[in-house]
Amino acid sequence: MSGRTLTIVLLAWFLFSLIGGISGFFVTTTAPPVALGLAVILPIVLFLFFYVKQGKLYGMLQKLDLRFIVLPQVGRILGLLFIVDYFRGLLPPEFAWPAGLGDFAIGVTAPLIAYLLRSNYAHKREVFVIWNVLGIVDLVDAVTLGILHSQSSFGIFAGDPNTALLSVFPRNLVPTFLVPIFIILHIVALYRSKEIRAVNDRATATSG
């Protein structure tokens, strides 16, 4: 997959999420949230398929500075909008608070993690791995809570308000576009975390 192809895929994916949110395609009432679930999971599965083949996509991502894979997570600071929506009476607190604060915590620490990669801190690989794992856990937790508090048949904890807001534009862009991208970036970061240890090992060998 070339850079041009990747750009086209991302644009098509964004337009699908955009049009789906505006048209109500992701809205469910009594049925399982199949469309929303596929929009979250399918991009990740397809990415893993092409990534493990170690083709052009793999080569492009391996050449990127790790900091450029980490820094896009800064955008998750906007997760605080979930808490704003809670105070507006649009989202349940059981979803808004953990999802909003979790995203904010990852977003606000992303620059620190990027800086850590350039430091000589002995345990920076361990910190890097933990941060990425927590980032994935936060996203999975947010999606799970969103479904459990939705108006779909899986919304066993749904009340008033529920998480229907996340099925329509513009909030639907979070689960159907941004969440898969953030998870993919975490996966790439974790895969490449072995490079951090390699740098530390070379430094140790040189000093010895």
> Structural domain tally of the chain?
1
Q: Cα separation of 65 and 81, whole Å?
A: 30
- Per-residue pLDDT of the chain (208 residues), as tens digits, is 667 788 899 999 999 999 999 999 999 888 899 999 999 999 999 999 989 887 888 898 999 999 999 999 999 999 999 999 999 999 999 999 999 999 999 999 999 999 999 999 999 999 999 999 999 999 999 999 999 999 999 999 999 999 999 999 999 999 999 999 999 999 999 999 999 865 545 444 433 4
What 3-state DSSP class applies to 90?
coil
What is the dihedral sign for C-alpha 138, 80, 131, 135?
positive
Tokens of 112: 């620190």
In angstroms, the CA 38 to CA 99 distance is 20
Global confidence as pTM: 0.92
| Residue 91: domain span | 3-207
